[in-house]
A and B are shown apart, each in its own frame.
Chain A
Amino acid sequence: MQFLKLLAQLAELDEQQLTATGPRRTALSRLGQAGAAVLPAALTALASPAAARDIKDTRTPLDVLTLALTLEYLENEFYSRALGLTPGGPANPTAFFVSAENKAAIETIQRHEQQHVTLLSRLIVDAGGTVPPAPRFDFTGSKNGAQAAVFADVYTNLDTFLQVAQLLEDAGVRAYKGQVEFIQSYDSLLEAALRTHSTEARHASHIRTMRRQRGANVKSWVSPSDTPITTAGSGPNKAYAGEENITQYVPTTTTIKRVPFEQGLPINVATPALSQSAILAKVAEAFDEPIDAATSVELAQLFIY
C-alpha cells in the first residue's frame, strides 16, 4: 500500500479517506472556477476558503510533478498493454485494434505518454526528488480481483477500451488544468505542463473522434450532448462531474464578475438563433474545467491496487 500512502500525501488526504467510499468533496473546485484569490468575502463565506488556501499553499512543484507522473504512468501502461508492449493486454493486439489506422493512433498516444513519463521523471530528479516506482495497475477496475470489475472487457472489446481511454484522457486534461496554478511562478515548468496538457487534449479529441467513427454519440470536445460513458455518482463519473459548468467568473481590479452567458453576451449568432439550452450547451463545450488533486487521485485509484 506504499503507493496509496504516496497518493494520499499528494492529495492531502489520509489513506482511510482515500479508500473509503463516498464523496469527499470540498468547495475547492467551485472556488477554483471562481479564482479563489479574488473572490470577495461575501462569496467565499459560503464555501471553505481557509481549507482551499491551505491546500493551495502546501502544494509544491514536486507534488505537482509526482501527481502528473502517476497519471502518465497509468496512461502509458494502459496503452502499452493494449499494444502488447507489456503483459496483460489483448491476446492479439493487431486484431484487437481492427485497423492499422486505429493501432497507429494508439501507438502515437502511447509514445507521448512514455515521453511524458521520461520528462516528468527527469524534472523530479532535477527538482531534488526521488522518482517513485510505477504502481500496480488493473484496468478492469477490479483491483486485481478484490472487487467486481468495472470495465471487465477493457482488453477484449475495443469500444470498452476506447471508453476507458476517453475517460483517462479527459481526466488527464482536467488534472493538469487543476495543477497549473501551483507552478505559475516556475515559468519553464508551467510551460511544460501547459504543453503536456495540450498534448493530452489532442489525444482526448482523437479518441473521441475514433469513438464517433465507431458509432458512439460523442463530440471531439466534452459536450452535454455526449452519451455518458459513466454513471452519475459513480467513481468514474468524477472524470466528468462539473464539466457541464457554464458559470465563469472574471476578476477586475476591485471585484469579480460572473460572465452573463445566459443573457447579455452576444453569443447566440446562429440563424435561426439556438434555444437557450442549446447555446448554453455550447458554452459548456467551450470551457474545459479543472479537477483538483484529490479528484485526480481518486480517479487514478480506480485502476491502482
Chain B
Amino acid sequence: MSESVPTTSFLERTIQRRSFFRVAGATAAASTLVLAGCVGSDDDNDETGPSVSTLRFTKDDLGVLNYAYLLEHLEAAFYQKVVDAFPSDFTADDRAAFVDLRDHEVIHREFLRYALGTNAFDNVVPIAFDFTSFNLTTRAGVYAAAQLLEDVGVGAYNGAGKLLTAPAYLKLVGKIASVESRHAAFVRDQAQPGSFAAADVVENTGTLAGLDTVKTPTQVAELIAKYVQATLIVTDLPTL
C-alpha cells in the first residue's frame, strides 16, 4: 500500500507507518513471548509475593495477541469465579447473563490460545489471578468489578488495533472488540441504568468527542496489576 498518503494528525500524534515495525522487528531478539517463570523477588519490595512469574510481551503481533490473550484469561477467570458462587442477590437474569459473559470470554481465550499455538504465554507456567480486592458477595460489587474489567478491556482493544501489523489479526481482534464493548455497556447499565456510554468512557467534549476509551498497554498493565499474579512487562510491545 502507499506509504505517502497524508492524513490527519487530529490525535496529535505523528502518523507512524509500518516502517517502525520493520526496524523493530529487525532488532527484536525473539518473536516469541519470554516467560521467565518464578523469578526470585523475595528480597525486593515486590508486593505480589516471594515468587512471581514475569510476563514479557514481545514487540510483534504475537506479543500483542498474547496481551489480548492475557486480558481474556483475566475476564474468563473473573466470570468463572462469579458463576461458581453467585451473590445471593443475583437475579435469574443476572445469572444467565453472567453465564453468557463467562462463555464468551472462555471462547475468546481459547480462540486466542489456538491462534497463538506454541507462542501462548502460558504454555510454560500457568497464570493465576487474584480477585480478593473485589467484593464478589453482592450484586453491586460484582457489577462494579465487571464494569472495571470490561472497560479496561475495551480500552485495551481500542489501543491494540494499531499495534498489529497483520491485517488478518486486525480483523479477528475487531470481531472480539465490539463484543467486549457490548459487554461493557451491558454491565454498566446493570450497575447504573443509562451509564452504557457515560462520559468517563466515551469522550463527551473536545476534538475527540464521541470516541470510546483507549488505553496503552502500560496503562492497562497498571490497571490490572493487582489482579494478575505475575509481573507484566509491556514495554517491549510495539508503541506508536
Contacts and interface: CB of A to CB of B under 8 A. Distances in A.
Interface of A: 32-33, 35, 37-38, 57, 60-61, 101, 104-105, 108-109, 111-116, 118-119, 122-123, 126-128, 173, 177, 180-181, 184-192, 194-206, 208-209, 219-221, 248-252, 256-257, 259-261, 265-267, 269-270, 279, 282-283, 285-290
A194 B117 contact: no
B131 interface: no
B181 A181 contact: no
Contact of A186 (B7, B108, B168, B194): B7
B17 A206 contact: no
Contacts of A197: 174, 177-178, 181
B158 interface: yes
B47 to A, nearest CB: 31
B159 A191 contact: yes
Contact of B11 (A116, A192, A200, A252): A192
A123 B10 contact: yes
Interface in B140-163: 154, 157-159, 161-162
B174 A290 contact: yes
A286 B107 contact: yes
B177 A194 contact: yes
B6 to A, nearest CB: 7
24 contacts: A33-B171, A60-B5, A61-B5, A122-B8, A126-B7, A181-B167, A187-B240, A188-B7, A188-B8, A188-B9, A191-B11, A196-B212, A197-B181, A198-B154, A198-B177, A202-B182, A205-B196, A206-B197, A208-B182, A251-B168, A259-B114, A259-B115, A265-B110, A283-B107
Contacts of A289: 175
B125 interface: no
A117 B185 CA distance: 22
B180 to A, nearest CB: 8
Contacts of B11: 188, 191-192
Contact of B184 (A101, A181, A202, A260): A202
Contacts, number: 252
Contacts of B229: none
Interface stretch (B35-43, B48-56, B98-106, B217-225): B98-106
Given A108-B194, A187-B240, A265-B114, A209 B189 contact: yes
A288 B178 contact: yes
B24 to A, nearest CB: 14
B202 interface: yes
Contacts of B3: 185
Contact of A187 (B111, B162, B179, B204): B162
A201 B181 contact: yes
B182 A112 contact: no
Contacts of B18: 185
B170 interface: yes
Contacts of B159: 191
Contacts of B126: none
A189 B18 CA distance: 14
B197 A109 contact: yes
Counting chain B CB atoms within 10 Å of each CB, the highest count among A192, A199, A206 belongs to A199
Contacts of A119: 10, 207-211
B1 interface: yes
A187 B13 contact: yes
A271 B70 CA distance: 24
Given A190-B161, A191-B11, A287 B175 contact: yes
A191 to B, nearest CB: 5
A60 B1 CA distance: 10
B202 A251 contact: no
B179 A287 contact: yes
B182 A269 contact: no
A200 B210 CA distance: 9
Contacts of B178: 173, 177, 197-198, 200-201, 288
Given A219-B100, A285-B100, A285-B104, A202 B114 contact: no
Counting chain A CB atoms within 10 Å of each CB, the highest count among B104, B107, B189, B208 belongs to B107
A202 B162 CA distance: 21
Contacts of B183: 205, 220-221
